Structure 1
Amino acid sequence: MGWLLRIKLNSIHAKLLATYLLLTTLGTTLMAGYILWSFHAYFMRTRLADLENWTTALSESAADALEANNLERVKVLVQRYGAPQTVTLRIFNQKGFLLATSDPQRDTQVTNWYEVSGMWEALQNRPAQGVAKGVLSTQDRLYIARPIWRNGQLLGVLRMSMTLDQLQRQFARVIWSVLGTLALTILVCALISTRLARSLSKPIETMRNFAIRLGSGHFGDKLVIRENNELDQLAAELNRMSERLASLDQERRAFLANVSHELRTPISNVQVTVDALKSGAYEEPQLRDRFFQTIENEIKRLSRLIHDLLDLGRLEAGVTQLEQQIFSLQGLINRAVSAMEPRMQAIGVSVRVNVADLKLQGDPERLLQAVLNVLDNAIKHSIPDSQVFISGFTEGKQAVIKIQDQGKGISESDLPRIFEQFYTTDPSRKGTSNGLGLAIAKRIVEAHHGSITASSATSQGATFTICLPLKARTDIKSNVSLNKEDTQVELD
């Protein structure tokens, strides 16, 4: 798995680098191409403009000489402005016969001037210009063939051409300069792209290693990414996930330890009692009955513990379907008091109820279980001849249920943890309580989108406050059905 992740990581780095280089190369190449094309077009326009200016001026002089039928003057004009190596100037009569040329050695070999570029158009009174191969040569030359007119009469044709060697040499220097700049730009961009790609892939590699450690069970590690972007936010989320996993792992370990302890105690008691019966206690009726009662009590305790664990597991997993019924809060509290009345009478605790007639929506049996668990806790911690006060009223959009006892209260150190699984404030009560009642009550209330809190003052008892929404809710957490007979309350 780590090898595959490393391949993917390297692929990310390679893809980022390749993308940056491709974009850089494409952009700089397009820009260089546009610059070269612009330079070439500029040079050609400049040379063509020079040719046009020269041929315009020379055609006027040639027209004067041809009109006067002065061929010597025409030859002098050609020799003066023509250069054998760079500029070739030719003047023809109206029939295409060569009158004068600045390159006589080459031109004497031409038999048909109509095949020379631009000549046919010029003799048809149409100026022509462009790039073509030189006469009897393979070099590219820029030419203009212009008809010579005077007083509406075609006197001849002036054809002027210039070599592009100098232009091509200049353009070649420009090309090499641009290509050198292009190569240097790509090299610099490659170095920058490598650093940028690594700066993006390095945090991903760190996160990958961090995720591998989380997958290996190393919870609580801290991931530090200083990017000031989305990667930094992702690192913060991974840190929160790590902290949450560490907390869940700690809770799981504590839960397993508590379950082991709670199961070991009654099983050990049953085992000791059975061993005692095997050793001869069975023959004494009075001792035998007491041992059987002990076994029965411990089995009931195990049954309640297992049921509460299953119940708590279903509530935490959200797989308990809560029925939606409209019920009376007053009727719910009266049912809870009636169920607890024999126990309260046995220990000399009375109850005072002041509950408004409110209508709630939810699962009345589950809420009854939550109220019974809280009321059971109040009774267990009440002193003889004391009272438990139960009140119910509205506060905003919530129904508030308060259950207050007159016991010794809850210390400040215990108060934040009383809703934890297996937590008890009195170690001496470990034999009669498994510490799941308040945890189950909390899960039930929260499943109804409510809340439960506890407050206490030293030697003045504890007050538990349950808040439930008055407005009908249709999105109560539910997934699977639960039979009514599954509802059981811890009444130790």
Structure 2
Amino acid sequence: PGQTTGEVQFVQSMAGAGRYAVLGHDMPDGRYLFAVFSLADVDEAAAILRRQLWIVTVILFVSASLLAVFLSRRLSQPIQAVTAAAHELARGNLAVALPVTSRDEVGRLTTALNELSRELQKTDQLRKELIANVSHELRAPLAVIKGYAETVRDVTWPQEDKRRSQLTLIADEADRLTAVVRDILDYSRLQAGVQKIQSKDIAIKPVLEQVLTRYEQQARLAGLSFALSADDVRIRFDEARLIQVLHNLVSNAINHGQPGTVITVSAAHQAMRCRISIRNTGATIPPEELGRIWERFHQAGSRPLGTGLGLAIVKSILEQHQANFGVQSENGITEFWFDAPAAEV
């Protein structure tokens, strides 16, 4: 008495059957009042809570593990797919296309890989076209050279006129072979940056006259003629590269010109630049082809002419000189143009 007043004491039964809570209180008459409560229900509830806590803990652990496995697979599967696609590309299987399922870094990586696959397929197709075009361009003149060489050897050697004519054809076909090889080498050097620009002041009119004189016979055989309109202006350009650009553009105009028409070549002084254009009459280039006409190996029309590198070479040279250039084709009139910086006076 006195020591337990108002205090709760917990007592374990002697038989171990359970625990009890004992509350004592002094009464006014000197007696002492005890209140005893069984804790069996509380202990049972606590045991149930402990069991449930363990069950919840196990469930959460298993769920977290499964979620971790699921997320790791979900995150790793796209990366594994990209890795597998990269290995396929390395093995030469270029027809790789992966679905883009997200917009995160993995999605952007997948998009980049798909773009790489498309570009590689495009390059591979262009490579095949180059092989086919070059094979044709080489095989045809080689057959002519072989045929006429055998004819000269076996038949016409004593006949000077025929021999001279056939030897001339052999020389022309050899020049054609040289042009094919030169186009391939020039484009490779331009892409590799081996050829350095050596710009100097050039009078444009004499250069145009020289180029047109070079192609006058070829144009006449194609039923075409030239009309030149050039201002007396000097431009700042690499002379060898300028002649190469003009050769390709004039040759292209002859190849696609309609017989009986005139190829117009002009050079007009405009402020601090000179616009040079080559215009011919022939088939209109479809709008969808205009954007691709500068691509390597691309050839507009159904009849392949040359290696398909001429305009790609023009584009590379003009880009090296940081010159604006373009093409328009409407109502059968096609005009290629480029702007060269005018030389300082």
Q: Deviations over 1:178-230 (max 9, x none)?
A: 55544332222111111111110111122222222222222233210313422
Matched, 1:447 2:320: yes
Matched, 1:219 2:91: no
- 331-340 or 241-250: which moved more? 331-340
**Change beyond 3 A, Cα 1:190–1:394:** farther
Matched, 1:265 2:265: no
Q: Distance in 2 between matches of 1:368 and 1:337?
A: 11
Residue type of the partner of 1:299? A
> Over aligned residues, Cα RMSD in angstroms?
4.0
Runs of 5+ consecutive residues of structure 1 not aligned to the other structure = 1-75, 88-168, 473-492
Structure 1 residue 339, shift from structure 2 partner: 3.7
Q: Distance in 2 between matches of 1:414 and 1:236?
A: 25
Structure 1 residue 469, shift from structure 2 partner: 6.8
Matched, 1:400 2:247: no
Q: Distance in 1 between matches of 2:64 and 2:184?
A: 64
1:470-481 equivalences in 2 (<5 Å): none
Structure 1 residue 250, shift from structure 2 partner: 0.4
Q: Distance in 2 between matches of 1:414 and 1:290?
A: 44
**Change beyond 3 A, Cα 1:283–1:413:** farther
Residue 322 of structure 1 aligns with which residue? 196
Q: Distance in 2 between matches of 1:82 and 1:440?
A: 103
Compute the TM-score of the two structures, normalised by the length of structure 1: 0.52
1:459-470 equivalences in 2 (<5 Å): 461-467=333-339
**Change beyond 3 A, Cα 1:276–1:219:** same
Structure 1 residue 237, shift from structure 2 partner: 1.2
Partner-residue secondary structure (3-state), 2:157? helix
Residue 456 of structure 1 aligns with which residue? 329
Residue type of the partner of 2:266? I
**Which of 203, 206, 210 is residue 334 of structure 1 equivalent to?**
206
Matched, 1:234 2:106: no
Compute the TM-score of the two structures, normalised by the length of structure 2: 0.72
Asked if 1 retains the 8 angstrom alpha-carbon contact of 2:235 and 2:340, the reply is no
Structure 1 residue 245, shift from structure 2 partner: 0.8
Partner-residue secondary structure (3-state), 1:322? coil
Structure 1 residue 391, shift from structure 2 partner: 2.8
**Which of 395, 408, 412 is residue 286 of structure 2 equivalent to?**
412
Asked if 2 retains the 8 angstrom alpha-carbon contact of 1:445 and 1:452, the reply is yes
Q: Distance in 1 between matches of 2:5 and 2:70?
A: 64
1:187-202 equivalences in 2 (<5 Å): 187-202=62-77
Partner-residue secondary structure (3-state), 1:404? strand
Asked if 2 retains the 8 angstrom alpha-carbon contact of 1:324 and 1:363, the reply is yes
Percent same amino acid among aligned pairs? 23
- 418-427 or 207-216: which moved more? 418-427
Asked if 2 retains the 8 angstrom alpha-carbon contact of 1:325 and 1:363, the reply is yes
Residue 184 of structure 2 aligns with which residue? 309
Asked if 1 retains the 8 angstrom alpha-carbon contact of 2:204 and 2:235, the reply is no
**Change beyond 3 A, Cα 1:382–1:320:** farther
Residue type of the partner of 2:329? S
Partner-residue secondary structure (3-state), 1:217? coil
Q: Distance in 2 between matches of 1:415 and 1:81?
A: 101
**Which of 349, 356, 359 is residue 225 of structure 2 equivalent to?**
349
Partner-residue secondary structure (3-state), 1:226? coil
Q: Distance in 2 between matches of 1:84 and 1:435?
A: 103
**Which of 286, 297, 321 is residue 421 of structure 1 equivalent to?**
297
Structure 1 residue 363, shift from structure 2 partner: 2.8
Structure 1 residue 81, shift from structure 2 partner: 10
Residue type of the partner of 1:466? F
Q: Distance in 2 between matches of 1:223 and 1:425?
A: 34
Structure 1 residue 79, shift from structure 2 partner: 9.6
Structure 1 residue 447, shift from structure 2 partner: 2.8
**Change beyond 3 A, Cα 1:185–1:387:** closer
Q: Deviations over 1:62-105 (max 9, x none)?
A: xxxxxxxxxxxxxx756999999969xxxxxxxxxxxxxxxxxx
Q: Deviations over 1:313-361 (max 9, x none)?
A: 222x333333253535xx134323234236438848343324474654x
Q: Distance in 1 between matches of 2:4 and 2:287?
A: 117
Residue 390 of structure 1 aligns with which residue? 266
Q: Deviations over 1:96-150 (max 9, x none)?
A: xxxxxxxxxxxxxxxxxxxxxxxxxxxxxxxxxxxxxxxxxxxxxxxxxxxxxxx
**Change beyond 3 A, Cα 1:314–1:281:** same
Residue 367 of structure 1 aligns with which residue? 242
**Change beyond 3 A, Cα 1:290–1:425:** farther
Structure 1 residue 297, shift from structure 2 partner: 1.6
Structure 1 or 2, whichever has the larger Rg, is: 1
